[in-house]
Amino acid sequence: MTEQEWKEKLTPEQYRVLRQKGTERPFTGEYNSHKEEGQYVCAGCGEKLFESDHKFDSGCGWPSFYQPTEKSKITNVLDTSHGMTRTEILCTNCGGHLGHVFTDGPEPTGLRYCVNSVSLGFEKKE
């Protein structure tokens, strides 16, 4: 999609985060304390990214998951912005910025996929 098409499809906040690599303020996102069973999808393209079974409360202020539905759904990119070295995570399907992954998560993976709520949608388990 063109940038104009993205601007028409997404809310201004979704566009800022997904397309311009922004970050929502901690503890403000819709899915930070969300407990329903189902799948979290990319707000940009609808790709199924994370399962509710893999969500945990990390206390960081953003929804956290210890693994994606499939590794191929997430693209890792080196991020050296803001004077830090981190691993940015993108939706492989549309390239939307989701957040970052860190190595301080729980077993079995030891990973914490820290995701902006605004980058996600949710499909409730039926």
- Rounded CA separation 66/44 (Å): 22
Handedness of CA 9, 11, 12, 13 (dihedral sign): negative
Look up residue 21 and give its DSSP letter: -
Residues 6+ apart with CB under 8 A from 9: 1, 44
Question: Could you please report the per-residue DSSP string of 40-51?
Answer: EEETTT--EEEE
Look up residue 25 and give its DSSP letter: P
**Is 94 labeled as catalytic in the residue annotation?**
no
Candidates 42, 45, 94, 114; catalytic one: 114
What residues are labeled active site? 114
